[in-house]
Structure 1
Amino acid sequence: MSDQPNLGQLLAEASRPDLDPEDAVFQIGLVIDAAHDFGHEATVLGALALCDQIEKRQLSDALKVTVEYFKANAWAALQEIRQSEPADAWLWEHPELSKQILHLRRAWAHPGFAALPSVRKCQILTNLANQMNAAGRFVDAIQLWDQALALNQNFAMALGNRGAGLMHYARALYDPGHQILFLRGALSGLHAALAKDAIWEGGEEAAKGPHQVFARLRDDLTSRLDGFEDVELDPDNVEHLGADLGEREYRRWCMQRRLFLNPLNDLWRRPIVARDVLTLPDLTTPLTDGPEPPRIIAFYNQIKQEYASARWLLFSGLAADGPHNSDRGVVLFNTLDYPIHGLAIEQVKIAYRSAYSLLDKIAIFINVYLGLAVPTARVSFRSIWLEKTGRDWVIRPEFARLDNWPLRGLFWLAKDLYEPDFSDVTDPDARGVRAIRNHLEHRFLRIHDGTLAFPLSAIEKETDDQPSMSVDRAVFEAKAIRLLQLTRSAVVYLSLAVRREEERRSRERSVGLVSMPLSLWSDDWKR
């Protein structure tokens, strides 16, 4: 291959020991780009090895982030080289995709991220959003695209990919009105990506391919929406937030953090989204001696209610500005390390535990709904997707044969969690999140304010003989909000995955149906 010597020369140049770190990292980026262009796997692997080597040198924080970004690019190149068949896109396990998400998240979470140029930050966030979307985590992807656009509202790759992502999200929805709103949002983003003031990194040649893709999507979507009337609604009517000032404050807080079980909260942060309207689609259950009780609907009801209650507890704990009446008269000794005590912090702790436990309940739901017959005591959100074959864990055949994008999103969301048997995580903070949960449930977690807190590194490693752990209050509260957002994503994916599965079952069904209508549970019955 005539280009191979040039790649070898580039690799040799990047590995020169006399290069200063900044030049060496720059050269590694050139090697990865060239190897990607020529589809040369060995050179990509060589560049990854150089990344590992250069990380042993003294690097600035900004260079450490750049190396993580280049590692993600290298794994993207390997994925494209190794998975060239269209059917490969529907494989559930993608080791290369998993590596991309992990390295991009490491780059994003690193202290050096803040010092990067705005364009590089947008590239990292947009690439991470793109990979999340490819994995089926479209809810999480939108939040990342929006963060990139908050840095640069004209960043073309974020605008265009967000538009494409909203199109895919619309296909997964069951409400025709919501579908139209998402498609109109998608069209707006595609127009913005193709506008004259859009910013394309990499120059005209690099932008040519994506520009053509976005233009084709825009034209197709324009023709599809032609003739559809706008959905009549008043998205900014504050009556959606309730009449009570306290309720309005709570609903605004949820709305801004995208915590409503309402797909429109991924599109907007406006009063109309302030209701948990997401439900399951019409379900088909077998007739034996009579209609089976709607157990799956009861499961989803409980998941929604527990989620909404955890959300309120979190808000209440964060909003509290003094001791609660229940705190008065509770005699405690001063242990001289000054942890935080009181109902407010306990509410945040309960919300954290509840949000984490809901993920395992979603796994129970999946086990029952898909008839996997895994013993209930062995079901967890991390393990439900896999079965052990010899020494290896592999995707269960019941999942492997399903063309279900939201369900695959749930599978990839599970990779954010760490369990000892499943260490292939895509979230660099997975061990820390689990360590907090375990100390909340089984040991002792102390919350401290500011300078009185132990170093954050104390929560990154969990040992069997560690009876207690200390966490900074701001860190803990941020993790609690993020965990609730993660759980909310899982509940959304679950609803849309069931819809997709019910559509598949209806196509394969050969017998008639008996209708069993269900009425809504009144708010007045909740007590």
Structure 2
Amino acid sequence: MNRLNPEHLMSLKSFDGLDPEDIVVGLGILFEHGRALGESKFIKKGLEMGADMDFEDFFLEQVQAFHFNMANGWSYLHGITGPKNHLEIEEFQTEELEQQIINLRLALSISDEFPADTRKSEVLTNLGNLFNTIGRFSESLKYYREALEITPGFGQTLANYSNTVFGYARILYDGGQQTYFLKNAYEGLGDALKGKLYDETRSNVKIMREHIASIFNNDELEYDYKENSFSLGETTEEVTYRNWVLKNVLFLNPMNDVTMESIAAHDCLLLPSLASKDDRPEFYQILFNQIKQEFATARYFYFQGIHPSMPHFSDKGNLQLDFSKGVNYSLAIEKLKIAFKTSYSIFDKIAYLLNDYLELGWNLKSVSFRRIWYSNTKGSGIRVLEKINETENWAFRGLFWLNKDFYEKSIPYLTSIAPESKELAEIRNYMEHKSINVISNSVEVPVDEGIESYWIKREDLEKKTLVLLQTVRAAMIYLSLGINLEEYKRPSEGPSIPIFPQVRDDKKKF
């Protein structure tokens, strides 16, 4: 008798007694059987037995496959119990989506331990699909790009990428950017048709491509933007820096999400034009200016921190004792720390702006990016605010889900969907209030971490800070486009005066 048939697996209380390979295969059997029958009981059984799994005897590939299967299980359950109409707006707080993201991120982190393969490409594509669904469209494109680096020309990934670009284009308020995005989507859909696609996907791709073609004439679709003909600066240093920013998708410019050519090499992101009877729009614009400046400074400090050409003169004569533990002290490392702390703090400034703009009702002393989305009424439990839950704002939906990447000690009951969230919060806390020791990459982290000290390899700090910078950039894009969507929805309350401030001259920035 095959003990891995669905009926036998349903009779088990747990996976105890099965070897890792059978556990992975068994999960797949339960999930696929449940999906085929449209019966959630098989899927729920697999998810129940797969919870809190001990991976002591697993190979890394088996752990990766386990998390990939668990993500599929939550996806199938969502397909059975979630909205049947793809246009239906579901509540922001969705456990099935949370668990899919958590498991796919765990599978992806394990994938970094061995050469990229088709499974990693599938994980990246699925993450791209999920991030697009939850409104984190800017970040979803990054996952698609990484998947296409592993499996170039893969039709399904190209179709999903182009679909996301098309949706992104629809909420851009700059006409030139919108046209550029639609052209990019049109070309991507054409490339997707050259690859393997499911019949339904192929039909949808053709329909979407024809729709874009109906908006433009052939000359517009074939227009040459001369994408790499824009200036990157007047000095070698500036050109090097701007090329690095483009490559790492760090310009505050939506176009950097779809191209790394010089056409995207400027920080043109702003809040949309706001009209009001009071001075609130001016307050929002001033705060956004500050947020942009802090980001640009953190980005450049990070660049300098990872590219120190030589010891800086400000470090000369700074007498320090050497205890041979590999701890490094320098201006470059302090710039890395400043970049990390500044990036992390920007999220609370975004929360401050949103709390006022959406009139969420939080006391200014209690505002934080992790907190503002939820009810602050005592005894109400963990509940998303109605003002948030009822919005059909795709970009604000992205901001809401982005808050789930973070951990806040004062509200531990809010679950995070990022495996490293608690570690990032701990690093920030040690940077701000205690001691953090940045050690050489070749040195092992000491077992005894000392009194109130956090030890981290320089390479790890660099990687975590880069991810933080990229996440901040995405949040700022969602904020800008989300406010624009809200402005379209808000009814007119009589005459108001739009604000058209002058653009600041770069020569005055000193």
TM category (shorter chain) comes to over 0.9
Aligned to 1:192: 191
> Is the Cα contact below 8 Å between 1:76 and 1:96 reproduced in 2?
yes
CA distance in 1, matches of 2:121, 2:497: 52
- Structure 1 residues 115 and 372: alpha-carbon distance in aligned structure 2, compared to 1, 3 A threshold: same
Greater Cα offset, 76-85 or 346-355: 76-85
- The residue that corresponds to 1:352 in the other structure is 340
Q: Quick one: which of 479, 503, 514 aligns to 2:497?
A: 514
2:250/2:473 contact within 8 Å kept: yes
Secondary structure of 1:322 counterpart: coil
Residue of structure 1 equivalent to 2:100: 100
Greater RCO, CA 8 A, separation 6+ = 2
Alpha-carbon spacing, 1:34–1:213, altered in 2? closer, same or farther (3 Å): farther
Are the equivalent residues in 2 in contact too, given 1:458–1:469 (CA < 8 A)?
no
SS in 2 for 1:451: coil
Moved more, 432-441 or 332-341: 332-341
How far the C-alpha of 1:116 sits from its partner, in A, is 6.8
Segments of structure 2 that go 5 or more residues without pairing to the other structure are none
Q: Which residue pairs with 2:163 in the alignment?
A: 164
Does the 8 A contact of 1:255 with 1:270 survive in 2? yes
Deviates more, 1:296-305 or 1:516-525: 516-525
Report the secondary structure of 2:370's partner residue. Answer: coil
In the alignment, structure 1 residue 432 sits paired with structure 2 residue 423 = yes
1:398 and 2:387 correspond:
yes
CA–CA separation in structure 2 for the residues paired with 1:116 and 1:50: 30
- Of 296, 318, 327, 1:308 maps to 296
Give the superposition deviation at 1:106.
0.5
Q: Deviations over 1:30-87 (max 9, x none)?
A: 2212212222111101112333486456111000000000110111111111113436
Do the aligned residues in 1 keep the contact of 2:277 with 2:496 (CA within 8 Å)? Answer: no
CA distance in 2, matches of 1:242, 1:120: 41
2:37 corresponds to = 38
> Structure 1 vs Structure 2: percent identity of aligned residues?
31
Distance 1:426 1:244, change over 3 A: same
1:237 aligns with 2:229: yes
Map of 1:343 onto structure 2: 331
| TM-score, with structure 1 as normaliser | 0.89
Residues 317 and 345, structure 1, Cα contact 8 Å, conserved in 2: yes
Distance 1:501 1:222 in 2: 29
Partner of 1:462: none
Q: Quickly say closer, same or farther: Cα 1:281–1:408, change in 2 above 3 A.
A: same
Structure 1 residue 23, shift from structure 2 partner: 3.9
Change (3 A) 1:126 1:388: same
- Per the alignment, residue 3 of structure 1 pairs with none
Where does 1:465-476 land on structure 2 (aligned, <5 Å)?
467-476=452-461
**Letter of the structure 2 residue corresponding to residue 166 of structure 1:** V
One-letter amino acid of the structure 2 residue matched with residue 477 of structure 1: E
Q: Deviation at 1:518?
A: 1.2
Which residue is equivalent to 1:380? Answer: 368
Tell me the secondary structure at the aligned position of residue 183 of structure 1. helix
CA contact (8 A) 2:273 2:499 kept: no
Partners of 2:495 and 2:296 lie apart in 1 by: 37
User: How big is the shift at 1:212?
Assistant: 3.1
Comparing 113-122 with 37-46, greater Cα deviation is found at 113-122
Matched residue, 1:525: 508
Deviation at 1:392, TM superposition (A): 1.3
State the Cα deviation string for residues 91-134 of structure 1 (Å, max 9, x = none). Answer: 21111101101110010012x55547722111110001110110
**1:76-475 equivalence runs, <5 A:** 76-86=75-85, 88-110=88-110, 112-115=111-114, 118-195=117-194, 198-199=195-196, 207-226=198-217, 229-230=220-221, 233-239=225-231, 241-287=232-278, 294-389=282-377, 390=379, 392-420=381-409, 421-422=411-412, 423-454=414-445, 467-475=452-460
**CA 1:16–1:371: 2 relative to 1, 3 Å:** closer
Specify the alignment match of 2:71 in structure 1.
72
1:407, 1:497 within 8 Å by CA — same for their partners in 2? yes
What secondary structure sits across from 2:436 in the alignment? strand
SS of 1:261's partner is: coil
Q: Is the 8 A contact 2:169 2:178 kept in 1?
A: yes
State the 1:18 CA deviation.
7.0
Q: Partners of 2:243 and 2:392 in 1: how far apart?
A: 37
In the TM superposition, what is the alpha-carbon distance from 1:310 to its structure 2 partner? 0.7
Alpha-carbon distance in structure 2 between the residues aligned to 1:410 and 1:144 = 18
Partner secondary structure for residue 294 of structure 1: helix
Instruction: Look up the equivalent residue of 1:182 and give its one-letter code.
Output: F
Stretch deviating more after TM superposition (387-396 or 186-195): 387-396
SS at match of 1:321: coil
Give per-residue Cα distances to partners, 1:177-234, cap 9 Å, x unaligned.
1111111211222222221xx246xxxxxx3333333333233333333457255632
Matching residue of 2:47: 48
Cα separation, partners in 2 of 1:13 and 1:151, compared to 1, 3 Å: farther
Structure 1 position 482 matched with structure 2 position 467:
yes
SS of the residue corresponding to residue 381 of structure 1 reads coil
Which whole-Å CA distance do the structure 2 matches of 1:174 and 1:228 have between them? 22
| Structure with the larger helix share | 1
CA contact (8 A) 2:15 2:49 kept: no
Helix, strand or coil at the partner of 1:70: helix
User: Residues of 1 paired with 2:201 and 2:32: CA distance?
Assistant: 17
Q: Post-superposition shift, 1:273?
A: 1.0
Q: Summarize the Cα distance change of 1:61–1:516 in structure 2 as closer, same or farther, 3 Å threshold.
A: closer
Q: CA deviation at 1:346?
A: 0.4
Cα 1:501–1:53 shift into 2, 3 Å:
closer
Distance 1:320 1:483 in 2: 21
Question: Separation in 2 of the partners of 1:152 and 1:458?
Answer: 44
* Distance 1:307-1:193 versus aligned 2 partners, 3 A rule: same
Q: Work out the CA distance in 1 between the residues paired with 2:43 and 2:280.
A: 56
SS in 2 for 1:229: helix
Of 467, 474, 478, the residue aligned with 1:493 is 478
> Alpha carbons of 1:437 and 1:30: their partners in 2 closer, same or farther (altered >3 Å)?
same
**How far apart, CA to CA, are the structure 1 residues paired with 2:435 and 2:42?**
49
Q: In structure 2, do the counterparts of structure 1 residues 14 and 29 end up closer, same or farther at CA, with 3 Å as the change threshold?
A: farther
Runs of 5+ consecutive residues of structure 1 not aligned to the other structure: 1-5, 201-206, 460-464
Measured in 1, the distance between the counterparts of 2:474 and 2:27 equals 36
The residue that corresponds to 1:504 in the other structure is 489
Letter of the 2:489 partner, please give it: R
Greater mean alpha carbon deviation, residues 338-347 or residues 23-32 = 23-32
The question of whether the paired residues in 1 share the 8 Å contact of 2:275 and 2:499 is answered with: no
Checking the alignment, whether the CA contact within 8 Å between 1:167 and 1:186 is kept in structure 2 is: yes
- State the 1:238 CA deviation: 4.8
Q: Counterparts of 1:8 and 1:89 in 2: how far apart (Å)?
A: 36
Query: Per the alignment, do residues 164 and 293 of structure 1 end up closer, same or farther by CA in structure 2, a change over 3 Å counting?
Result: closer
- Are the aligned partners of 2:47 and 2:73 in contact in 1 as well (CA < 8 Å)? yes
